[in-house]
């Protein structure tokens, strides 16, 4: 409904006529309260309400613009981009900083030799007897064949048994015990001695065992079993698992080789004797060992002289002292106890592999004096020796010198000490890279004045070339020739000496 304005109503009146006409009364200035018609504002509001509710009139609206990408996709993309930026900052910046630091400090030369590290040596296959299978030896009657049994006049009236066997000097040897740490600690004690018989009239190899038990029941329950043949000698000690702290077992085992002109040929010699003191005399000249494995937790080990292709000496909580000679590998290891070894290493230049040396302990001093021998006929094309020496506390000292009959050899050495000082010394025949690192101590590299000639080219003079020198880090090259650049691809000798909070010193005799 359209209501016309007042002026429109006045203008639209018909002209006067002569005939009578019906006139509506003029509209008053204000709307009468009793007027049935709404005013303009009210009628407009009513009209719009009707259109919004049930009006049949349809208004044309433009269709919404079609968006190329949905708003939710935009939000997901922005979130992913933000996450990418954050991860790039968190991960990328440390990598960039680390890489830049390594590029600024790293010192490396290309190497044309891949080091073939040896796997962990296990001695299980070298045991003649199986310490986990007692029933077999009991069935064969090969246990507790005591020659004599007696009583001691002590407070416990201990029982003592003794036996003596003649064995083959060749083949395989194993002496083992099933005692374990810590259950048998301070209950089982023993001594093993392996050496040369001082009686030159004895021509046989003998093994003797003496056992002392604190009571008869313990003596009967403990089994000492033997497995003897022409090419194998095995001795196994079986300790009962129901012992108390008042019980005690003491053992004394002695293996003696004769002083004969025929050298004994031993394929493998293995011991596993917890809580024993294992002592080996000077066996050189009378026994030719191929493989030697001396083991036992809480077992002191003293070696006068042993020579073999492979040697493993491993214990814990007890020291290792000795002299060893190896041509393939030498491993000496303990923990919380000192190591002091003299090692002679031989490497065949015609072999495809170097000779390995590993010496490690912790929380104690470590001393290794190593003699190198490799009859190289020309500059070696691979390392003759690879050595890894480590302790995490205490003094670490190592020296490497050449045998008087040996020309210069190639060695790769890594000597580490976490908290204690490190001192390493090489004679005048080392050639290769050197690097000395410490964090809170002082790094020093010193060259002595001992002269030497390079046997492969006598015209080359000895050079000492530190590439970088600081209080905590020094690296460079030493060898024969004006510099290392001309023979960069032939650098196969290397020594790295590291510690953390103590001094680190590397000395070249010449």
- pLDDT at position 141 is 53
Higher pLDDT, 346 or 43: 346
Q: What is the arithmetic mean of pLDDT over 269-296?
A: 96
Alpha-carbon distance of 211 to 247, in angstroms, equals 13
- In the block, tokens 């007692």 appear at 134
| Residue written as token pair 């010192």 | 107
Residues 6+ apart with CB under 8 A from 282: 195, 196, 304, 305
Distance in angstroms (rounded) separating the CA atoms of residues 66 and 101: 53
Contact yes or no for 291/269 (Cβ under 8 A): yes
> Percentage of the chain surpassing pLDDT 90?
62
Q: Is the pLDDT of residue 239 over 90?
A: yes
Q: How sure is the predictor about 60, in pLDDT bands with cuts at 50, 70 and 90?
A: very low
The residue written with tokens 């009991």 in the block is 138
pLDDT of residue 84: 79
pTM for the full predicted model: 0.76
**Confidence (pLDDT) at 155:** 81
Mean pLDDT of the chain: 83
Q: Is 478 helix (H, G, I), strand (E, B) or coil?
A: strand
- What pLDDT is recorded for position 503? 96
Q: Considering only residues 65 and 187, tell me which one the structure prediction assigns the higher pLDDT.
A: 187
Look at the chain and count its residues: 510
Residue 485 confidence (pLDDT) above 60: no
* pLDDT score recorded for residue 36: 57
Alpha carbon distance 441, 421 (integer Å): 9
* Average pLDDT of the segment spanning 71-86: 78
For tokens 């010198």, the residue is: 401
Closest of 300, 307, 306, 305 to residue 339, by C-alpha: 300
- Per-residue model confidence (pLDDT) at position 106: 42
Kindly state the tokens that stand for 215: 């009571």
Between 340 and 142, name the one with better pLDDT: 340
What is the secondary structure of 174-235 as a DSSP string? Answer: EEEE---TTTTTTTEEEEEEEEE-S-TT--SEEEEEEEEESSHHHHHH-EEEEEE-SSEEEE
Q: Which of 416, 422, 402 is nearest to 361 (CA)?
A: 416
Residue 489: its pLDDT value, please? 43
Most confident range (mean pLDDT) of 44-58, 149-163, 321-335 is 321-335
Residue 481, pLDDT score: 81
Average pLDDT over residues 321-330: 98
Does residue 40 have a pLDDT over 60?
Answer: yes
On the question of pLDDT at 211 being above 80, the answer is yes
Rounded to a whole number of angstroms, the CA Rg of the chain reads: 47
Q: How confident is the model at residue 43 (pLDDT cuts 50, 70, 90)?
A: low
Contact 346, 317 (CB under 8 A): no
If one counts every other C-beta atom within 10 angstroms of the C-beta of residue 308, the result is 24
Mean pLDDT in residue range 408-434: 95
Residue 321 backbone phi and psi in degrees, to 5: -130, 140
- If one compares 34 and 38, the residue with the highest pLDDT of the two is 38
Can you give the pLDDT at residue 86?
Answer: 80
pLDDT at position 142, please?
Answer: 81
Instruction: For residues 284 and 195, give the distance between their C-alpha atoms in angstroms, rounded to a whole number.
Output: 10
Q: Please check whether residue 374 is in contact with residue 400, taking contact to mean a CB–CB distance below 8 angstroms.
A: no
Find, among 302, 449, 443, 424, the residue nearest to 370 by Cα: 424
At a CB cut-off of 8 Å and minimum separation 6, what does 245 contact?
A: 186, 187
CA distance linking residue 487 with residue 271, whole number of Å: 47
Q: Are 425 and 398 in contact (CB under 8 A)?
A: yes
Give the pLDDT confidence score for residue 267 in this predicted structure: 96
Averaged pLDDT, 216-222: 95
What pLDDT was estimated at residue 75?
Answer: 78
* Interval 147-161 mean pLDDT: 91
pLDDT of residue 56: 44
**What is the DSSP secondary structure assignment for residue 261, as one 8-state letter?**
S
Task: Give the pLDDT confidence score for residue 157 in this predicted structure.
Answer: 86
Residue 291: pLDDT over 60 = yes
Confidence of residue 105 (pLDDT cuts 50, 70, 90): very low
In this prediction, residue 85 has a pLDDT band, given cuts at 50, 70 and 90, of confident
Integer Cα distance of 403 and 115 in angstroms: 24
Segment 255-268 shows an average pLDDT of: 96
When pLDDT is averaged across residues 435-457 and rounded to a whole number, the result is 93
Task: Provide the 10 A C-beta neighbour count for residue 200.
Answer: 10
Question: CA-to-CA distance for 339 and 8, rounded, in angstroms?
Answer: 123
Confidence of residue 38 (pLDDT cuts 50, 70, 90): low
Q: How many whole angstroms separate alpha carbon 74 and alpha carbon 68?
A: 10
């Amino acid at each position: 409904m359209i209501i016309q304005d007042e002026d429109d109503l006045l203008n639209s009146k018909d002209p006067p006529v002569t005939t009578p006409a019906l006139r509506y009364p003029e509209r008053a200035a204000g709307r009468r309260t009793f007027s049935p018609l709404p005013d303009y504002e009210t009628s407009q509001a009513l009209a719009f309400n009707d259109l919004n509710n049930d009006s049949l009139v349809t208004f044309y609206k433009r269709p919404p613009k079609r968006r190329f990408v949905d708003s939710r996709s935009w939000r997901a993309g922005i979130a992913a981009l933000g996450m990418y930026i954050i991860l790039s900052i968190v991960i990328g910046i440390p990598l960039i900083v680390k890489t830049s630091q390594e590029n600024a400090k790293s010192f490396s030369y290309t190497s044309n030799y891949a080091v073939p590290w040896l796997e962990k040596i296990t001695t299980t296959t070298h045991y003649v007897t199986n310490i986990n299978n007692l029933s077999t030896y009991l069935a064969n009657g090969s246990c507790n064949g005591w020659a004599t049994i007696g009583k001691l006049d002590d407070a416990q009236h201990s029982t003592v048994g003794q036996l003596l066997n003649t064995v083959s000097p060749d083949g395989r040897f194993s002496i083992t015990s099933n005692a374990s740490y810590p259950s048998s600690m301070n209950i089982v004690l023993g001594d093993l001695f392996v050496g040369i018989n001082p009686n030159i009239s004895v021509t046989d190899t003998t093994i003797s065992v003496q056992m002392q038990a604190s009571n008869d029941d313990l003596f009967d329950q403990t089994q000492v079993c033997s497995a003897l043949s022409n090419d194998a000698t095995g001795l196994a000690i079986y300790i009962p698992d129901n012992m108390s702290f008042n019980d005690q077992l003491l053992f004394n085992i002695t293996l003696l080789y004769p002083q004969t002109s025929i050298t004994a040929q031993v394929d493998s010699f293995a011991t596993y004797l917890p809580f024993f003191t294992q002592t080996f005399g000077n066996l050189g000249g009378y026994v030719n060992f191929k493989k030697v494995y001396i083991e036992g937790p809480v077992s002191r080990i003293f070696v006068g002289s042993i020579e073999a292709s492979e040697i493993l000496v491993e214990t814990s909580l007890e020291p290792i002292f000795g002299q060893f000679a190896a041509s393939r590998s030498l491993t000496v290891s303990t923990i919380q106890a000192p190591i002091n070894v003299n090692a002679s290493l031989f490497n065949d230049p015609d072999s495809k592999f170097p000779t390995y040396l590993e010496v490690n302990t912790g929380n104690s001093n470590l001393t290794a004096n190593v003699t190198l021998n490799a009859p190289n006929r020309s500059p070696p094309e691979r390392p003759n020796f690879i050595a890894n020496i480590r302790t995490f506390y205490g003094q670490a000292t190592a020296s490497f010198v050449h045998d008087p009959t040996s020309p210069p050899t190639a060695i790769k050495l890594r000597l580490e000490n976490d908290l204690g000082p490190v001192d390493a010394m090489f004679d005048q025949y080392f050639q290769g890279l050197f690097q000395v690192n410490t964090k809170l101590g002082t790094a020093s590299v010193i060259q002595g004045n001992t002269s030497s000639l390079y046997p492969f080219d006598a015209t080359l003079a000895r050079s000492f070339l530190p590439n970088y020198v600081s209080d905590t880090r020094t690296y460079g090259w030493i060898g024969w020739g004006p510099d290392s650049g001309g023979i960069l691809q032939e650098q196969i000798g290397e020594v790295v000496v590291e510690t953390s909070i103590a001094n680190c010193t590397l000395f070249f005799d010449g």
